[in-house]
Amino acid sequence: MKPGTPGGLDAVETGPLPSDAPTRTVAPQSATPSDHPSVAALVARFGDAIRRHRVSAGDQTVVWIDPAKNLEVLRWLKDDPTQLYDMMSDVTGVDYGTGTVDVVYQMFSTMHKRALRVRCELPVSALEIDSVAGLWHSADWLEREVYDLFGVTFRGHPDPRRILMPDDYAEGHPLRKDFPLRGRFSRAEQTRRALAQDVERFYTPTDLQHGGPPQEVLASGHGAPGESGGAA
């Protein structure tokens, strides 16, 4: 307790005390190329393909680039000795409901110890962009998630399937702003579809047996340890 502050029930009558003044210095919200070495290098190399840049959340440098050049720009950021962004920690999507969806790449260079966020703004009428899974293996499932939830198609992706919703999910992409709160189908239709699902499409024989040996093991006559094989 600070010196001179009331204690016990006196504090109830006095009311809340003001918080201490924040000591953290917040960086300006508009960046110049000299603020981040990668931004300066990107502007010098790619010119108009670097659409804008700023500092977000105090210290996170964000660069918007031409979506048509995402693969070229990101490959350079990964391979150039002055950049070496060898870690793709996240690929995600953002939909503000303004008619565009941003694909967001969060990267880190373990060699130069600096982070960079790259964003590509796509119109909802053309949600397609080159995959970077060939550059960073971590982008594989992350791009599948962005496709599943936002509807962005990644050209050249090795396995372009849904990853969270069922393969035959017909209601669209749930994290889009134009997605209805209760889904596109009525509650009755959603229930009917759920009850009509073939569970064997989504679960292995082992899952369906609640941990028992797989069907192929039983058929071979080799049961689980401690069990006799074959028919009784």
DSSP for 74-139 reads: HHHHHHSTTT---EEEEEEEEE-SSSEEEEEEEEEETTTTEEEEEEEEEETT--EEE--TTT-TTH
Alpha-carbon gap, residue 81 to 58, rounded angstroms: 27
Return the bridge partners of 55, or none: 61
Alpha-carbon gap, residue 134 to 157, rounded angstroms: 8
Q: 36-59 pLDDT, tens per residue?
A: 999 999 999 999 999 999 998 878
Element (H, E) at 44: helix 37-46
Per-residue pLDDT averaged across 191-207, rounded?
76
- Residue among 212, 202, 134 nearest 164 (CA): 202
The domain in which residue 40 lies consists of: 26-163
Look-up of token digits 């960073």: 136
Look-up of token digits 């192929």: 216
- Residue among 183, 210, 209 nearest 194 (CA): 183
**Higher pLDDT among residues 81 and 13, named by residue:** 81
Residue 12 resides in a domain: no
- Residue among 94, 98, 117, 95 nearest 106 (CA): 117
Per-residue pLDDT averaged across 211-232, rounded?
47
**CATH number for the domain that contains residue 159:** 3.30.460.80
Q: What is the 8-class DSSP label of residue 4?
A: T
Residue 52 resides in a domain: yes
Read off the pLDDT band of 213 (50, 70, 90): very low
Q: 140-172 pLDDT, tens per residue?
A: 999 999 999 999 999 999 999 999 998 888 899
Q: pLDDT at position 202, please?
A: 67
Residue 17 resides in a domain: no
Q: pLDDT at position 225, please?
A: 45
Residue 6 resides in a domain: no
Residue 211 resides in a domain: no
Phi and psi at residue 163, in whole multiples of 5°?
-125, -20
Residue 64 is encoded by which pair of tokens?
A: 């918007």
Percent of the chain whose pLDDT exceeds 90: 56
Read off the pLDDT band of 135 (50, 70, 90): very high
Q: How many domains does the chain have?
A: 1
Alpha-carbon gap, residue 112 to 225, rounded angstroms: 52
Element (H, E) at 201: none
Residue 154 resides in a domain: yes
The length of the chain in residues reads: 232
Alpha-carbon gap, residue 116 to 65, rounded angstroms: 13
Alpha-carbon gap, residue 63 to 76, rounded angstroms: 14
Q: 69-117 pLDDT, tens per residue?
A: 999 999 999 999 999 999 999 999 999 999 999 999 999 999 999 999 9
Phi and psi at residue 156, in whole multiples of 5°?
85, 5
Residue 105 resides in a domain: yes
Q: pLDDT at position 226, please?
A: 45
Alpha-carbon gap, residue 69 to 36, rounded angstroms: 21
Residue 197 resides in a domain: no
Contacts of 86 (CB under 8 A, 6+ apart): 78, 109, 110, 111
